[in-house]
Amino acid sequence: MWRFDDLLIVNEVIKQKSFSKASKSLNIPSSTISRRVSEFEAAIGVRLLERNSRKIALTDKGALLFKQCNTQLQTIKNDVNAISELNSLPVGPLKITAPITLGGEILSPFFCKFAHKYPQINLELQLTNTLEDILDDSFDVAIRVGPLADSGFIGQRLFSTKSVLVASPEYIAKHKLDICNINVLQECHFLSYKKEPHKLMIINNNTAAKTKLEIPVTPTFTSSSTTMLRNAANNHLGVALLPHISVIDAIKSKTLINIFSEYHIGNSTHIYAVYPSKQHVSERLDLFLTELKRFTEPL
Name the pLDDT band for 88 (thresholds 50, 70, 90): low
E strands of 199-260, at which residues? 199-204, 212-216, 219-223, 239-243, 257-259
The 10s digit of each residue's pLDDT in 6-22 is 888 888 888 888 888 88
Half-sphere exposure of 229 (CA within 13 A, CB side): 28
| Domains along the chain with CATH numbers | 4-87 (1.10.10.10), 92-160+270-296 (3.40.190.10), 163-267 (3.40.190.290)
CA–CA distance, 241 with 165 (Å, rounded to integer): 4
The 10s digit of each residue's pLDDT in 195-242 is 777 888 888 776 656 778 889 999 999 998 999 999 999 999 999 999
Please tell me which residue, 265 or 78, carries the higher pLDDT value.
265
Q: What are the percentages of helix, strand and coil residues in the chain, rounded to 5?
A: 40, 25, 30
How many H-runs (helices) and E-runs (strands) does the chain carry? 10, 15
pLDDT value of position 87: 64
CA–CA distance, 136 with 129 (Å, rounded to integer): 17
> What number is the average pLDDT over the span 102-131?
94
Helix axes 60-87, 4-16, angle to 10 degrees: 110
Please tell me which residue, 137 or 252, carries the higher pLDDT value.
252
